Amino acid sequence: MQKIYRKIFFWGIFILFLISTPLVIMHSKGYRFDQKRGIFVYSGSVTLKTIPSSVRIFINNEEQPSRSLDIINNSITLNGLKPGTYKIRVTADGYLDWEKQVEVHSGLSSEFWNVVLMPQNPQLKGIESHKTARLFPSPFGKKIAYFEDLENNIFLWVTDFKENKTQLIFSKDNVSASRDRLENLEWNFKEDLMLIPVTRNNQKDYLIASASQDLSPIYLSEISRPGDIIKARWSPQEKNVIYFLARSNSENKSNLYRVSLDNNTLQLIIPGVIAYDLSQNSIYYIQENNILFKGNLEGGNITQINDNQFTDQPIGDGARLIAYDNERQALISQDGDLFVHNNGNESLSQKIASSVQGVQFSDDGKKLLFGTPNEIFVMFLRKWEVQPYRDENEIQNVIRISSPLENVFWFRDYEHILFSADKKIKLIELDPRDRRICLDVFENNLDDFPAVYDTSNGYYFFLRDESGDKRIFYFTLPEKTGIFG
């Protein structure tokens, strides 16, 4: 009998081995048994890259074991998921949850490379300021300039973050800073000089002031030719050189000039310019024919960039040109019509939208953000071959609301957009899968407030009421959480 039992035991183990071995192999290869269908199916996965990187992940409300981050791209992959729809929730202490219904397909990975969790209570920091009307951080975030809110007088203050010092730079009666939101104080690239659009003697002018007060404040009209001066800009290469458009009462066309503060040398660069933009080493400009040209910063080596006109209609003196490079440019007419030139795999040159308030290229030039008073759009200038996939020249309506949209900025990953509406600072993602997640980042106590997002450092500056006084505050997005996120 013992011999029979041994045979039964042996053959039982052998049969179990024959049955289990294929199951183990199939499981290791990614196959899972679907009880509803009664068959084995090839599993899929979900890949997440999150900010912050230390998070908890739930699938259908069941918390998943913690996983190590991929050493190459700091992502987390959830393997072995049977094809179907899953509720994926990402949480972290002190942050708002991220949650989506995710489709998992056999043999494929559903990838989410830009999962951003917003802090529940951003840490506000105040800047010494009072009665603030507008604010202007310097290019590298070392300083911030602001105006006091005075109707017919100007008080210009600058805070130096490194020295933790705020000082009055300039004040003058019967001189007022421009209230046009399209006209901003501009810092030079050294962060020591400012160019400020003002009104004095009922004429438009530009004040030149030093943040360290090394240079006595002067007006651009005092060192340039007489006439209407518009669209003044600092040189991207020479810290004491300014470009501007001007024309006298006897002229019908504006000319592009440059002036050096070192010796007050005025130079005519290009005649008959309607709109221009400066890159690191070039001038892009449009004349009456609405065809784009490019020259060096001295006005030489002129070349025609595009054969086609932006439009055959007048664009107005208030038109704005925004050039990313020779292949990608945008033009906003004085009436708010947006025209885009995009020379990618497919060449596009046409009107894109109306009533446009502003445009911003992404840092890599692959996306163009633009908005109307109540809508935000993104145009994809290059084919996007990672999830979510996008076609070249595809335009997506990111959000449409009845309230006015203000303070529209790219978030630093260029896959989210910051904006404000109804007192709230909000963040919305571009990824439309399931739905676009739109989060309330912070609720302000002012109905209308200027704000600036410093993409490089992640600082969001804005005005807030404190005891009846408008002061500057800021918080960091995304929050700094240490070297490992």
Chain segment 59-79, per-residue pLDDT in tens: 999 999 988 787 778 899 998
Q: Are 153 and 177 in contact (CB under 8 A)?
A: no
- What pLDDT band is residue 483 in, cutting at 50, 70 and 90? very low
- Integer Cα distance of 311 and 268 in angstroms: 27
- Predicted confidence at residue 180, as pLDDT, reads 82
For residues 427-448, give the mean pLDDT. Answer: 97
- Predicted confidence at residue 20, as pLDDT, reads 52
DSSP strands (E only) in 287-435: 292-296, 303-304, 320-323, 328-332, 338-343, 347-353, 358-361, 367-371, 375-380, 394-400, 406-410, 416-421, 424-429
Give tens-digit pLDDT for 418-437.
999 999 999 999 999 999 99
Give tens-digit pLDDT for 217-233.
999 999 986 678 999 99
- Integer Cα distance of 206 and 246 in angstroms: 12
Residue 485: is its pLDDT beyond 50?
A: no
Residue 36: is its pLDDT beyond 90?
A: no
Give tens-digit pLDDT for 364-414.
999 999 999 999 999 999 999 999 999 999 999 999 999 999 999 999 999
* % of the chain exceeding 70 in pLDDT: 89
Residue 143: is its pLDDT beyond 80?
A: yes
Give tens-digit pLDDT for 234-262.
999 999 999 999 986 667 789 999 999 99
Residue 15: is its pLDDT beyond 80?
A: no
The pLDDT mean for the chain works out to 90
Give tens-digit pLDDT for 313-358.
999 999 999 999 999 999 999 999 999 999 999 889 999 999 999 9
- Predicted confidence at residue 484, as pLDDT, reads 42
- What pLDDT band is residue 29 in, cutting at 50, 70 and 90? very low
DSSP for 312-336? SS---TT-EEEESSSSEEEEE-TT-
The CA distances from residue 210 to 2, 24, 153, 195, 196, in Å, are 102, 73, 19, 9, 11
Backbone angles phi, psi at 184, to 5 degrees: -120, 150
Residue 21: is its pLDDT beyond 70?
A: no
Angle at 312 between CA 310 and CA 318, to 5 degrees: 70
DSSP strands (E only) in 2-94: 31-34, 39-42, 44-51, 56-59, 62-63, 76-81, 84-91
For residues 124-146, give the mean pLDDT. Answer: 93
Q: What is the DSSP letter of 260?
A: E
- Predicted confidence at residue 130, as pLDDT, reads 87
Q: What CATH code is assigned to 43-116?
A: 2.60.40.3070
Which of 152 and 147 is assigned the larger pLDDT?
Answer: 147
Q: Do you find a cis peptide bond into 52, omega within 30 degrees of 0?
A: yes
Residue 449: is its pLDDT beyond 70?
A: yes
- What pLDDT band is residue 153 in, cutting at 50, 70 and 90? confident
